[in-house]
Amino acid sequence: MADLDFKGFWDEALTRLRTDLGEEEFVGWFTDLKYLHSGENLVVIGVPSAFHRDKVKARYQNIIKTKLKEAAGRDISLEFEVVAGNNAENAAVQPEQVPQNSENSYQTGKNQPSGTAKGAEPQKKEKKSKHPLMRDDYTFDRYIIGGNNEFAANAAIAISKNPGKIYNPFFIYGGVGLGKTHLMQAIGNFVYENSDNKVIYTTSENFLNEYVQAIQDGKMNAFKNKFRYTDVLLIDDIQFFQDKPGVQEELFHTFNALLNAKKHLVFTCDRPPSELKKFSDRLISRFEQSLKVDLQPPRYEVRCAILKATAENRGASIPDEVIDLISKNISSNIRDLISALNTLIAYTELMGKPITLDIAQQRLRDTFNAPRQANLSMENIIRVVAEYFSLTPNDLKGKKRSQNIVFPRQLAMYIGREMTDYSTTELGQDFGGRDHTTVMHSIEKIKGKLITDPTLDSTIESIKRSIKEFSSK
């Protein structure tokens, strides 16, 4: 049969593989393959390296043959040849870039690309340049390191240089907007850009949606192959798997398969594994095996550094006294910090006026005075309330119902609802997995006491000030 005919079968096989494997997996392994020539019932494919050849043969040779047989109506053998400077001219078109957002990122500094190996390797890495599902600005170069995240950042850097070998699995937890996603994707971007390792990044929502779709379409094998045959798996916000036993079961087996194969797993979560509720014990046990790192709100000096670097990256001139003003008044998380700065940058761009201290105070007045600005973490609130009443955080989270504990616990719930955006359900999770009706009852009890006890209001305000001071350190 003519060579051109086999080329058509190859293209059709690629189209079917893209549909079955999904965009991310397809792009990771098939866009660097090149149709070379054919013989009698044989297709010869070019690959960019021996490493890539071995990986494709081990993981995909059978499914490629299946798709070729479906397209050609006959069995077709495969051969792979290493071709220097190989490209993806015969693969399907690359997907569009994923829209970027500003959540969970210390998005600062100039974009400084990582170094590349000598010889022909830089050309290859330039071609794949950006991972299709990760932000290219979520890198270590743009991650400001301070006392609140130094240990986590150093561990992440070490992992990115030795994936699968050290600190595996890696579990990053902390409140919203503290840089968990940035740090996770920095690992993925470094590994992706500096090696031939396959990297999959997904949110818990996307993982769940793909799982459900695979069940409905009868394609669980393709789903399993996608997530169990990767070198680095990054899953964001795993707390959303709570009370979903089916997807937890699948994650458990994926976890074991990758760990046994010495592949790296990285998870982010809004709380430590010990505080996850409605998770299977064996999955929590796997998370507990991880190197666990806690991201806390940055201290004043780091907040200043983040604002200065972000302003420089945006080409904006922000006076030091304005940087100081924002840093002292917003200590909740990086997202809120950058949001305030963006407000000022937008003002100067639209109005054509330089930012002054007076303008900053005026434009950010509502932000600074918002009752929920102290939206740091329930851990801080619980800690401060516990210390105020000479208790421990575990006392407030525990099951004891003595009056000397119940009242401070109710007060902590009330203050948490006042100072954060947490729902009553989320608050209940932070207090030992209590349900939302318990939290609502506690809040109503405090509201009732405020009517009958005129001194309670001053006590609450004093505790709130202590929480803000503690969180801004």
User: Which regions of the chain carry the CATH code 1.10.8.60?
Assistant: 300-369
Q: Is the pLDDT of residue 446 over 50?
A: yes
Looking at 1.10.8.60, 1.10.1040.10, 1.10.3720.10, 1.10.1060.10, the CATH number of the domain 300-369 comes to: 1.10.8.60
Please determine, looking at this structure, whether the domain spanning 3-82 carries the CATH number 2.60.40.1180: no
CA dist., res. 353 & res. 450, Å (int): 47
**Residue 374, Cβ neighbours under 10 Å: how many?**
22
Buried b (16+ CB within 10 A) or exposed e, 446-458: beeeeeeeeeeee
Which pLDDT band holds residue 419 (cuts at 50, 70, 90)? confident
Phi, psi of 269 (to 5 degrees): -155, 160
Residues of the chain by 3-state class (helix, strand, coil), percent to 5: 55, 10, 35
**Residue 78, Cβ neighbours under 10 Å: how many?**
16
Task: Calculate mean pLDDT across residues 310-321.
Answer: 89
Q: Please state the separation of Cα 235 from the chain's center in Å.
A: 7
Strand partners, 35: 45
Which pLDDT band holds residue 3 (cuts at 50, 70, 90)? very low
CA dist., res. 417 & res. 412, Å (int): 9
Phi, psi of 292 (to 5 degrees): -100, 125
User: How is 213-258 classified by DSSP, letter by letter?
Assistant: HHHHHT-HHHHHHHHHS-SEEEEE-GGGGTT-HHHHHHHHHHHHHH
CA dist., res. 16 & res. 71, Å (int): 9
pLDDT in tens, 177-201: 788 999 999 999 999 999 989 999 9
| Residue scoring higher pLDDT (44 or 119) | 44
Phi, psi of 84 (to 5 degrees): -65, 135
Extract the runs of DSSP E, i.e. beta strands, from 70-154. 77-82
pLDDT in tens, 54-109: 778 888 888 898 888 887 778 888 898 887 544 333 333 333 333 333 334 444 44
CA dist., res. 27 & res. 21, Å (int): 10
Which pLDDT band holds residue 377 (cuts at 50, 70, 90)? confident
Task: Calculate mean pLDDT across residues 209-236.
Answer: 93
CA dist., res. 39 & res. 7, Å (int): 11
Determine the pLDDT at residue 226.
92
**Residue 278, Cβ neighbours under 10 Å: how many?**
12
Phi, psi of 145 (to 5 degrees): -105, 130
Please count the residues of the chain. Answer: 473
Looking at 1.10.3720.10, 3.40.1620.10, 3.40.50.300, 3.30.300.30, the CATH number of the domain 121-295 comes to: 3.40.50.300
Q: Is the pLDDT of residue 362 over 50?
A: yes
pLDDT in tens, 249-296: 999 999 999 999 999 999 999 888 887 878 999 999 999 989 999 888
Determine the pLDDT at residue 341.
92
Q: Is the pLDDT of residue 112 over 50?
A: no
Mean residue pLDDT across the chain: 82
* pTM score: 0.57
* Residue 442, Cβ density class (10 Å: 0-12 exposed, 13-18 middle, ≥19 buried): buried
User: Which regions of the chain carry the CATH code 3.30.300.180?
Assistant: 3-82
Which pLDDT band holds residue 172 (cuts at 50, 70, 90)? very high
Q: Is the pLDDT of residue 119 over 70?
A: no
Q: Is the pLDDT of residue 120 over 50?
A: no
| Residue scoring higher pLDDT (28 or 210) | 210
Pairing state between β 199-203 and 42-47: unpaired
Determine the pLDDT at residue 374.
43
User: Which regions of the chain carry the CATH code 1.10.1750.10?
Assistant: 378-471
Task: Calculate mean pLDDT across residues 18-35.
Answer: 78
Q: Which CATH architecture has domain 378-471?
A: Orthogonal Bundle (1.10)
CA dist., res. 411 & res. 387, Å (int): 13
| Residue scoring higher pLDDT (130 or 207) | 207
* Residue 461, Cβ density class (10 Å: 0-12 exposed, 13-18 middle, ≥19 buried): exposed
On whether the CB atoms of residues 193 and 28 are closer than 8 A, the answer is no
